[in-house]
Amino acid sequence: MTTLLIEIGCEELPARVCESVLRQLEDSAEAPGLVHRLLEAERLLESAAFALRVLVSPRRIAVLAQGVPERQTARTDDYRGPKAEIAYDAAGGLTKAGLGFARSRGARPEDVRREVVDGKEFAVVRVEAERRDAAAVLPGLISALVTGLQIPRGMRWGGRPAGEAEYLRFSRPIRWLVCKLGGTTVATTLYGLTSGDVSQGHRVLGASLVIDSAEHYEQLLAEQKVIVSQQERRRLIVLGLDACAAELDAQWSDPGDVLAEAVYLAEWPSVARGAFSAAHLRLPSPMLITAMQSHQRYFPVRDGGGRLMPAFLYVSNGDRGAAALVTHGNERVLEGRLDDAEFAYDRDVAEGLDTMADRLGDVVFHEKLGSLADKAHRLQGLVAGLAAGPGAAGARPGGNGSSAPLAETLRMAARLAKADLVSQVVIEFPTLQGVMGGIYAESGGLGDAIAAAVGEHYRPLSATAPLPGTLAGGLLAIADKADNIVGAWVAGQKPSGSRDPYGLRRAAMGIVRIALEYGLRFPLAGLLASAVDQFELQGAEDLGDERRAVIVTETAAFVRERLQVLLLDEGLAFSSVEAALAVPAGDMPALAARARAFAALAGRDFFEDAVTAYSRCAALAAKDAAAGSRSVDPALFADAAERELAAACEAAREPLLNALSHLDIESAVKEAAGLRPAVDRYFDAVMVMADDDAVRGNRLAQLAAVTALIGRIGEFSRLPLASA
């Protein structure tokens, strides 16, 4: 066993590509990575001794695989030949066809045996596969490794080498290849590059080096100022940030996750600090942080009270001795950006958010969906319905922060929500959309409630990002996301497969998370139908009743899919989620409460009783599709068990529905469980499929009524019975 090194040397790779390559090459809990799969396919993997390290830095992608055998591992293959009647003669010896089959597989005649496959007898031979030296196999593996990486936006460079059918596409030009099996150099040619034992050190501080052995790879590169391990680079950067911040008696912060990118921007990282004029601290903190992080990849620092300080930290990939010169350059760049930011901010404050809103008609939101002014008008219509509906009335408090009615707060916030998109600051820093709107609303004296709603309405920015902190912000965010989703359907640009250019799955998850966080029990289909109404009132398109219905149905299913994902991510059983989401309940807190309750109650006796009562009734009621639409006629009852079931069902109806309305799912299930004795006696005493059409129809209608009542809790036919 020995260690295999493969190094792909490149021009500087983008950080996102580095992260993508790392995910593809490394093994995960879900599946083995590309390296593992290739070694396994080439029989160069001994699982007991195998250990893999993937090392990625700006200029190289390296694989260190320990426990690689020097020869391919043994393998036997069974080959099926002609049918036995063709391969063997009457005396049981091999015919010419049988002998030819053995020769074709490199086997002796006596190795051929008979075997029955799918009821037919064939000649079969077992052959041990050739075991080649690893050094002879690796050239093909290197090619498969390079071409097997999925590189976003791959580029090609130079001419196509002679003999190659097509260009190699990669993120950046590949400049060198190294392949070592222990101390042995493996030579191969790939797209005009010959692999060998020569690597490159740091672009400025290092030099070329010879890798004498795979085991010495990291040590040799460190001598040439390259920390090839991304984990080690991250550790050194964090230590440097901590040390520099401690010198200022401060704490560094990284709200933009710049650290993840900095790890792949430097091969020999060091941390230094710079400063900017304290006069710039009059700017809002989000502006200062964005100016530092979005373009320059600096780390802000805060004092003990949490206030931003006129200082920043940065990661350098150069000579530590030149830190003063580098710092001076970074300070000049930041000062210039902050001067520009101050100018833009002062212009925006002078104009005011209300005036900005008047300019939204000049900005196209979508060529088929109108301007940003049209978007703002649609949002006003949507939030009016949300504020007046049962969702907001029953919501948990969310800090509206104002004595003004919620509806008025939402109306004003909806009108101004998109106004900052025409501001100078957001044009310069697009990631501050919404945030600056909230700041301008506050500076313009519009009140904390409106400012918070405007500032929060883009949240959450991802499936796990923070939610709006106020009820008004949450309702405005739901309206905005619903408008985006429905707008895509109206424009004929709904997402398909993995294609989701407008982030609509993220928007749908945002609706789900906000509704659950605030207990918003608005009917989902009603919200989406209202969004369609806004487009029709705007005159965007004459949709027609049929297409309108399709849009509402499909968008409701689209949002429910995100609820399903969220519940499954909580660890709930698929059957519990499926049973909950199949009911006609129209609001997300009700659906989520059902799924969580079903998972918690699984295995309890009363839960099994409810499921059994439902399943027995549903199985027969399903035999007559019209049973659910017919009324039950007590005059047609012929047995006491029918009257008993009707009475039990009527007694359970009100408490069951009342429990559901308060999301007390356990109490509702207990009411349904109380019907099981009457259901069991019914099936013991009553012949449902009676000869008399009227009696049979009435009994099926009664079972359908029981099914419908219990079915208000959940589609229990989707749940497994413990006794099954």
Kindly report, residue by residue over 108-122, the tens digit of the pLDDT.
888 889 888 888 999
Kindly report, residue by residue over 669-704, the tens digit of the pLDDT.
999 999 999 999 999 999 999 888 899 999 999 999
Range 626-660 burial, b when 16+ CB lie within 10 A, else e: ebbeeebeeebbeeebbebbbebbeebeeebeebb
Cβ neighbours of residue 235 under 8 Å, at least 6 residues apart?
none
What local confidence, expressed as pLDDT, does residue 724 receive?
Answer: 42
Kindly report, residue by residue over 491-525, the tens digit of the pLDDT.
999 998 778 888 999 999 999 999 999 999 999 99
High-pLDDT (> 90) share of the chain, %: 73
Question: DSSP 3-state assignment of 126?
Answer: strand
Nearest to 401 by CA among 454, 479, 465, 348: 454
What local confidence, expressed as pLDDT, does residue 629 receive?
Answer: 82
- Separation of alpha carbons 172 and 175, rounded Å: 9
Q: Which residue is listed with tokens 């350098």?
A: 316
Mean pLDDT confidence for 148-156: 83
What local confidence, expressed as pLDDT, does residue 404 receive?
Answer: 60
- Judge whether 602 and 573 are in contact, CB under 8 Å: yes
Quick one: pLDDT band at residue 127, thresholds 50, 70, 90?
Answer: confident
More confident residue, 210 or 31: 210
Distances (CA, A) of 646 to 31, 32, 155, 252: 55, 59, 73, 69
What local confidence, expressed as pLDDT, does residue 191 receive?
Answer: 84
- Separation of alpha carbons 353 and 434, rounded Å: 11
Of the listed ranges 80-89, 295-304, 468-477, 534-543, the least confidently predicted one is: 534-543
The answer as to CATH 1.20.1270 being correct for domain 580-718 is no
Q: Per-residue pLDDT for 398 more than 70?
A: no
Nearest to 145 by CA among 25, 46, 58: 25
Q: Per-residue pLDDT for 436 more than 50?
A: yes
Of the listed ranges 237-241, 306-310, 498-502, the least confidently predicted one is: 498-502
Kindly report, residue by residue over 377-386, the tens digit of the pLDDT.
999 999 999 9
Of the listed ranges 458-462, 542-546, 611-615, 631-635, the least confidently predicted one is: 542-546
Q: Per-residue pLDDT for 713 more than 50?
A: yes
Kindly report, residue by residue over 451-484, the tens digit of the pLDDT.
999 999 999 998 889 999 999 999 999 999 999 9
What local confidence, expressed as pLDDT, does residue 52 receive?
Answer: 93
- Judge whether 555 and 489 are in contact, CB under 8 Å: yes
Domain-wise residue ranges, the chain: 2-72+133-223, 76-128, 233-344, 357-569, 580-718
What local confidence, expressed as pLDDT, does residue 682 receive?
Answer: 95
Q: Per-residue pLDDT for 394 more than 60?
A: no
CB atoms within 10 A of CB 454: 32
